Amino acid sequence: MKVSVLIPTVNRPTALAATLMALVVQSFGDFEITIADQSRTFIRTEPTIQTISRIFELHDRPPLHILQNLPPRGIAQQRQFLLNHSTGTFSLFLDDDVILEPRAISRLVQAMEEEECGFGGMAPVGLSYREDVRTGEQEISWWNGRVQPERVRPEGPGWERYKLHSAANMLHIGEKLRASGAGQKKYKVAWIGGCVLYDTAKLRDTGGFEFWQKLPPEHCGEDVLAQLRLMEKYGGFGLVPSGAYHQELPTTIANREVNAPEYLLAAR
């Protein structure tokens, strides 16, 4: 299997349904889907999810593997649970409220095979901000040549790149790129949330999300910490134009007092 699509979900059957339907129409076909569910009602019993599962079968798409992961022990443990079930060369961690364009997975796989680095991602665009052009947040550093390892830490050099992923910045940067006649390009990141394709072996080599055991159950920033460690050893990039869109729902992680990078990097 080339790609394992890994989706953590909790109490979002409607958003998850939209995310899954976008996967039905992907131009890339060599993938499997594993969903780790921590909802109050097991989503496998939801009629809409059952219908979508049948649509996958109808179109000869891979079956949906829907697993319960209870009791909840935090989002880092949820991601490690999914990583443990990945069989793909690449692992696409996709949030349950992100909708992909039909060529998104194909484009990510192509870029990762070109670079052979740790991860590549598409920052989800918030389309409600389409008219909110934030030129002050759109300073971008392109990778010219191969993606290289780099050390990025909170508040250190490169950290300010996180502003690129606010609102609809990546949509506006992508529109400028298309206007210039260029194809997709890779840029330097601090981290990416929502839609990230990892080299599975490299992610496991840097520990994956096993650090969940050192965190209290309520935490955030787990994907940031995993990417900072992976980027330091293998490198990572963002891809523009983005082919991912955020449904702009309220976060399911209400308590964000413990931020994994600050908590564990400071401790070290």
Condensed to tens digits (0 to 9), the pLDDT of residues 80-101 reads: 999 999 999 999 999 999 999 9
Please report the DSSP string for 69-133 in residue order. --S---HHHHHHHHHHT--SSEEEEE-TTEEE-TTHHHHHHHHHHHH-SSEEE-PPB-GGGTT--
Tens digit of each residue's pLDDT (9 = 90 or more) over 228-266: 999 999 999 999 999 999 999 999 887 888 999 998 986
Which of these, 69, 6, 51, lies nearest to 32 by C-alpha position?
Answer: 6
Give the pLDDT confidence score for residue 169 in this predicted structure. 97
Along the chain (268 residues), what's the average pLDDT of each consecutive run of 10 residues? 97 97 96 97 96 96 95 97 98 98 98 98 98 96 96 94 97 90 91 98 98 95 97 98 96 87 75
Helices 222-234 and 75-84: angle between axes, nearest 10 degrees: 50
Cβ 195 vs Cβ 95: under 8 Å: yes
Give the pLDDT confidence score for residue 8 in this predicted structure. 98
Separation of CA 253 from chain center:
16
The one-letter amino acid at 94: L
Give the pLDDT confidence score for residue 266 in this predicted structure. 61
What element of type H or E holds 65?
strand 64-68
CA torsion sign, 126 to 129 to 130 to 136? negative
pTM of the predicted model as reported, rounded to 2 decimal places: 0.96
Please report the DSSP string for 164-177 in residue order. GGSTTHHHHHHHHH
Strands, DSSP E only, in 2-59? Answer: 3-9, 31-37
| Cα 155 to Cα 141: distance, rounded to the nearest angstrom | 17
Cβ 8 vs Cβ 82: under 8 Å: yes
Neighbours of 246 (CB within 10 A): 22
The 3-state DSSP class for residue 198 equals strand
CB within 8 Å of 105: residues ≥ 6 apart: 3, 5, 26, 27, 28, 31, 92, 197
